[in-house]
Amino acid sequence: MTDITVPVQRQLDAYNAKDLAAFIACYHADIAIYRMPATEPALKGREALADFYKTERFTIAALRAEVLQRMVVGNKVIDHEKVHGMAEQAYQVVVVYEVQDGLIVYAWFYPAE
């Protein structure tokens, strides 16, 4: 694992453990999360991210994600993920994480369909 992947892997591990504090610690204070093809962030800032995951994600008992493939290009980590627990069937998504100074500053989510 290269240094650029460390915060991405940590947030994935915290996501699967539903450890909100550890999850949020991987993100920059001004994190911007995009759900593509949106041009405006769906979530902006650590507080909004924490509120969303506390109420909308980490309350789902079966929630977990697995990385099917990972690529690193410069300061971008591109994960092809399979997400379980959000729907009857698992679904796939590509997430591009931009890492600066050991924290995730941007994340773009691209649904498979």
CA-based R_g, the chain, Å: 13
- In this predicted structure, the answer to whether residue 45 has a pLDDT above a threshold of 80 is yes
**Residue type present at position 57:** R
Domain hosting residue 48, numbered range: 3-111
- pLDDT attached to residue 112: 87
CATH of the domain at 65: 3.10.450.50
- pLDDT attached to residue 2: 57
pLDDT, average across residues 27-49: 96
Kindly tell me the sign of the dihedral angle through the C-alpha atoms of 98, 104, 105, 106: positive
The count of domains in the chain is 1
Q: Is the peptide bond before 37 cis (omega within 30 degrees of 0)?
A: yes
Q: With a threshold of 0.85, does the pTM exceed it?
A: yes
Order of strands across the sheet with 103-111? 43-44, 27-35, 103-111, 91-100, 76-84, 64-73
CB atoms < 10 A from the CB of 33, how many? 20
Judged on CB neighbours under 10 Å (0-12, 13-18, 19+), 54 is middle
CA count, 13 A, side-chain hemisphere, 89: 2
